[in-house]
Each structure stands twice: as C-alpha cells, then as structure tokens.
Amino acid sequence: MILAIESLSKAFGGLRVVDDVSLTVPDGGLVGVIGPNGAGKSTLFSLVTGFVAADSGDVTLDGRSVATLPASGRARAGMVRTFQVPREFAHLTVRENLMAAAPEQSGERLFDLFFHPAAVRAQEEGVRRQATDIIEFLRLTAVADTPAGRLSGGQKKLLELGRALMTGARLILLDEPFAGVNPLLIEEISQRIRELNGRGIGFLIIEHDLGALTRLVATLHAMDRGCLIATGTPDAVLSNPRVREAYLGGAA
C-alpha cells in the first residue's frame, strides 16, 4: 500500500471540514475522489500532502508515517500534488518551469557554483534532458519555449503534471486536472495518466467531470460534508443512494 490515510480530521473555526476520513491507495493505484463543492476534498489533499496541519489522524507513505513532515519533506519522500488553479511561473518558459521543479540542484548552492562548476554543469544538463523527455512525453514540444502564462488551460494542466514528474514522485495527487480543459485535451491528459500509471506511478484524483474520471479510475471514493460516504467501483459508488443524494441531487 503506497498511501494510507487514517482518521484524518480538520476543523476551521468550529466547522469540521474533514471528519475522520480513512482511505488507501494501493501500489500503482489509480483512485478517484468525488463530492459536491465544500465536501472537503481539496482540504483532504492539503492535509495529506502537508500544506495544512491535521487536527488528528495519520498519513503513511510506503508504511512510514509522514504526518510530522512538512510539504517539502513529503515531496522528497515521493508524494506531490497539483492544484485546481495551476501555479505555473508565468514569465518562465515551459522548459524553464520544468527545470525549476527538479529537486536538490547543486547550482542553487554558492559553494558548488564556485568549487564544483563542472559537476553543476553536468547536473544542469541532466535536468535539461529530463525536462526535454517530459516535454516530448506530454506532447508539449511546440510550446516548450513559450512563456507558461500564454498556455491554454489544458496545456497548463499538462505542465503541472510535468512538474510533478520532475520531482520523481511515485504518488501524484491531482486536484481537478480536467477543470477548464477542452474535451480533446481531457482525453490527452487521461492518456498520459494511464501511461504513467502503467509505469507504476500511483494517482489519487479529485474531479467533478464524472464521465472522464470514471473512465480513468478503478476505485472511487465519495465525500460529503467532510465525511467519506462511499467507496467502491465507479458504478457501485455512483449508484449509491447517499452519493446520488449528496453529489447528484438525487437525480435518477
């Protein structure tokens, strides 16, 4: 089991936003999370990845608790997230955005710049090659040297995914990767996720586009008012009466 979320809870000003949530992602799993606006999904992601401190509960990655680690420590351990609204460096090119995401770059340390310039250059070349490989994989070659602020919504979502890949993550949490994306790019993003998952990278995905998500994931979790209300296959979860009432408004 690559990820185990155990009884996570968080309250803001007396409002319990995440309420005793437990779920797992198996090694190389492809798992989705749905729920109406305000269900607590994005807060759950922030708790799991260390951007917000939980009031109680535990998060384990590969069997090791990471609950006391900050977001940077959890990223170094192999777990990263994206956000609903992409957070690209708008003035940097796609290539530069990817290179900036590479961890532990010796060129950022003055000592190495002065005393180990050859090693710094070699590492930078390796990072550039890695960025080029990811650009080609994500089909972003045509915009590789375009400032990221000029990209379409779908291209920015692909760039977010690319920056996660630059870290060497083994588990990626995607927060609404299809929001604001045209149908053709939704399928492009889905295919890239499938290919990465086939390489052993696990995914936990929040998404409101039920059609796209249920075609992609094997397991689905539904949340409402901070609580986990259903878990199972996409068909089983979407037919659950509590989910239909909470997420689909009880529609037939």
Compute φ and ψ for 108, nearest 5 degrees: -85, -5
- What is the DSSP-derived secondary structure letter of residue 170? S
> Do 10 and 131 share a domain, yes or no?
no
Is the pLDDT reported for residue 101 higher than 70? yes
Last residue of a domain, one of 100, 135, 150: 150
> Is 13 domain-assigned?
yes
- Residue 145 main-chain phi, psi, to 5 deg: -110, 25
Residue 183 has pLDDT above 90, yes or no: no
| Strand arrangement, sheet containing 15-25 | 15-25, 3-12, 56-61, 64-65
Q: Is residue 252 part of a domain?
A: no
Last residue of a domain, one of 121, 150, 179: 150
- The mean pLDDT of 125-143, rounded to a whole number, is 92
Residue 152 CB-half CA count within 13 A: 14
What would the two tokens of residue 84 be? 């609903």
Distance CA 160, CA 100 (A): 12
Phi/psi at 65 (5° precision): -65, 130
Domain identity same for 108 and 83: no
Which amino acid type is present at position 111? F
Distance CA 84, CA 178 (A): 9
Looking at the fold, whether 135 and 224 belong to one and the same domain comes out as no
User: Would you say residue 33 lies in a domain?
Assistant: yes
pLDDT for the residue 250: 47
Residues written for the chain: 252
Q: Are strands 202-206 and 30-34 parallel, antiparallel or unpaired?
A: parallel
- Residue 241 located in a structural domain: yes
pLDDT of residue 252: 37
Please check whether residue 251 lies inside any domain of the structure.
no
Identify the band that residue 121 occupies on the pLDDT scale cut at 50, 70 and 90.
Answer: low
Give yes or no: residues 83 and 110 share one domain.
no
The residue out of 112, 132, 150 marking a domain boundary is 150
CATH number for the domain harbouring residue 18: 3.40.50.300
DSSP state of 1: -
Residue 29 lies in a domain: yes
Which ranges of the chain would DSSP assign to H, the alpha helix? 41-49, 71-76, 94-101, 110-115, 117-137, 153-166, 183-198, 210-216, 234-238, 241-246
187 and 200 share one domain: yes
187 with 74, same domain: the answer is yes
Task: Judge whether 121 lies within some domain.
Answer: yes
pLDDT score recorded for residue 125: 79
Q: What is the reported pLDDT for 86? A: 81
42 torsion bin: left (phi>0), alpha (psi -120 to 50), beta (else)? alpha
Shared domain check, 54 and 30: yes
Residue 195, pLDDT > 50, answer: yes
Q: Please indicate, yes or no, whether residues 138 and 165 belong to a single structural domain of this protein.
A: no
> What does the block give as tokens for 163?
């920056």
Encode pLDDT of 42-65 as tens digits: 999 999 999 999 999 999 999 999
**CA 34 distance to own-chain centroid:** 14
pLDDT at 67: 95
Residue type, position 11, single letter: A
Same domain, 146 and 41: no
Average pLDDT over residues 139-144: 95
196 and 236 within one domain: yes
- Residues 65, 240: Cα–Cα separation, whole Å: 32
Mean pLDDT of the chain: 89
206, 237, 169: which is closest to 84 by C-alpha? 206
The residue range of the domain holding 99 is 89-150
113: pLDDT strictly greater than 90: no
Q: How many structural domains compose the chain?
A: 2
Summarised one tens digit per residue, pLDDT across range 16-37 is 999 999 999 999 999 999 999 8
Question: Are 217 and 93 found together in one domain?
Answer: no
Examine the domain organization and report whether 145 and 233 are in the same domain.
Answer: no
Task: Answer whether 82's CB lies under 8 Å from 177's CB.
Answer: yes
